[in-house]
Structure 1
């Protein structure tokens, strides 16, 4: 089964690195640099198995985006993994409370990320 992942991050370098890593493992990747764009992508194509959501972005942050996605019934099954440079224990809980199923801190440990994706999809 082809697994499609949507990467949402305002830093193109993070997207580039994640894309290379995940494509090498057989994932189909789509990426966005803004949360609003990600929501539009998901509205048009809800066949993503997971969304990697950067939590700190301009205009709309990951917390707001996750809430919007969670409020759309046809998107509620999509797994969301919060990806953030904020690495305090309360940050993890804040991400989970916002509606993410898992949390990965930056710099990203690829093995942890792959494990999180496979666990959720």
Structure 2
């Protein structure tokens, strides 16, 4: 995910990191104004599926775009990511153009004022 972070920072985006899902939720709650989450599916302690479901259970983040990112491209992974609440799914190695297109699309699917501050 750090390679992805570097790429996003070159586009002027601010990137926050968390080593696992539990810390990710702490980072989310401590930082208002988060526009999108890139969720690594394979994390220690609390995987991306459980973390995504936990974020979705919080009313204020029910529509926050979440893109699942995983090296697992096996059949069923996309469906499992979407079922846990992900807005979309990309596989590693991440293609920069595909990721940016996906980010733009899921950010555009929110209505006005439906970000983290809603």
Structure with greater strand share of residues: 1
TM-score by length of 2: 0.86
1:44 match: 30
Note if 1:116 corresponds to 2:96. Answer: no
Match of 2:40 among 54, 79, 88: 54
Separation (CA, whole Å) in 1 of partners of 2:76 and 2:37:
21
- How many residues are aligned here? 107
- Structure 2, unaligned runs of 5 or more: 108-118
Inter-partner Cα distance in structure 2 for 1:77 and 1:44: 18
RMSD of equivalent CA atoms? 1.0
* Equivalent runs, 1:8-87 vs 2, <5 Å: 14-15=1-2, 17-87=3-73
Q: TM-score, normalised by structure 1?
A: 0.84
